[in-house]
Structure 1
Amino acid sequence: MRTSTPASQEKLLSVGQLAARSGVAVTALHFYETKGLIQSTRNGGNQRRYPRAMLRRVAVVKMAQRLGIPLAEIATALAALPIDHTPSAEDWQRLSAGWREDLNRRIDEMIRLRDQLDGCIGCGCMSLKECPLRNRQDHLAESGPGPHLP
């Protein structure tokens, strides 16, 4: 004989189910929870249970991490959303808009580094004194060799 589960319990996922559906390790989910990125409740057996909305939040966290956004910034951005709210496409656009400028800055820096690397490979010097990759913005080099700060 099968017993029915209350509707509110059917919407909850165990940590194993959330891990399997999100592709994120259970330990990572526990870590995300300690950082306030996701939230669970406890059942009568003291086991974690996650609302289905956490699936989308985990997806947002993983995508933001792929962009190189630090977890602290992700947590700040997610804090603007109600915890029981499944992030929507509009939420993602609002969150990602705040990260776009930083991402563009990092892309520009990587392009400059790539272009400098091409020049460095061409000369082959790798000089600590003159190479813009090895000794970027080193104004103390103009004072000669050795330490210059007390």
Structure 2
Amino acid sequence: MITSCTAEKVLTVGQLATRSGVAVTALHFYESKGLIHSTRSSGNQRRYPRETLRRVAVIKMAQRLGIPLSTIHAALQTLPVDRAPSVNDWQRLSAQWREDLNQRIDRLLALRDQLDGCIGCGCLSLQSCPLRNCNDELGEHGPGPQLLEPGGEATP
């Protein structure tokens, strides 16, 4: 006798958590933010379409890249809800995020390279500041650590 291998079409929250490697509480949070969706069983238990596994994988990858949840939400809204995101879907989403990631990488590299220098905070601690901010000249450029802000081209 030949038996067919058919996977369940829906997953419980526990099954989804186990398969995705994401805590049940995180899945509930994702659902509260509209990132994933469930239906309810007759016993009022959450049931997730199997396609949710790939959505959760996309969410996890985007979070690892440092993409804000609001941006992830906006991207997921462009995907069909009746199927798993495809390779083409992922390529489109990742292309949208690539430029932002490149800009953040550039900012992080600049921060790393300037980390041990003056941040232009305006503290006027001339005895301990490695670069003098005499007369708080950087204060003219705005509040906060001017040399660490994006576009912080001010020179002390």
In the superposition, the TM-score normalised over structure 1's length comes to 0.76
Structure 1's 46 and 111: CA in aligned 2 closer, same or farther, altered over 3 A? same
Task: Provide the aligned length of Structure 1 versus Structure 2.
Answer: 129
Which whole-Å CA distance do the structure 2 matches of 1:126 and 1:27 have between them?
Answer: 46
Report the AA paired with residue 41 of structure 1.
T
Matching residue of 1:116: 114
Structure 1's 54 and 128: CA in aligned 2 closer, same or farther, altered over 3 A? farther
Matching of residue 11 in structure 1 with residue 9 in structure 2:
yes
Q: Which runs of 5+ in 2 are unaligned?
A: 1-5, 119-127, 139-143
Q: 1:87-125: per-residue Cα shift (whole Å, max 9, x none)?
A: 11111110011111100000001111111125x29xx83
Report the AA paired with residue 117 of structure 1.
L
Which whole-Å CA distance do the structure 2 matches of 1:82 and 1:135 have between them?
Answer: 43
Report the AA paired with residue 125 of structure 1.
C
Q: 1:22-61: per-residue Cα shift (whole Å, max 9, x none)?
A: 0111111011011111111111101000011000000000
Taking only the aligned residue pairs, the percentage that are identical comes to 64
Which whole-Å CA distance do the structure 2 matches of 1:138 and 1:92 have between them?
Answer: 36
Matching residue of 2:133: 129
Q: Is contact 1:38-1:54 (8 Å) kept? A: yes
Q: Is contact 2:12-2:48 (8 Å) kept? A: yes
Q: Which runs of 5+ in 1 are unaligned?
A: 1-6, 143-150
Q: Is contact 1:127-1:134 (8 Å) kept? A: no
- Runs of 4+ in structure 1 off by over 6 angstroms are none
Which whole-Å CA distance do the structure 2 matches of 1:42 and 1:79 have between them?
Answer: 21
Matching of residue 27 in structure 1 with residue 31 in structure 2:
no
Q: Is contact 2:8-2:50 (8 Å) kept? A: no
Q: How does 1:63-142 map to 2 (within 5 A)?
A: 63-117=61-115, 120=117, 125-126=129-130, 129=133, 134-136=145-147, 137=152
In the superposition, the TM-score normalised over structure 2's length comes to 0.73
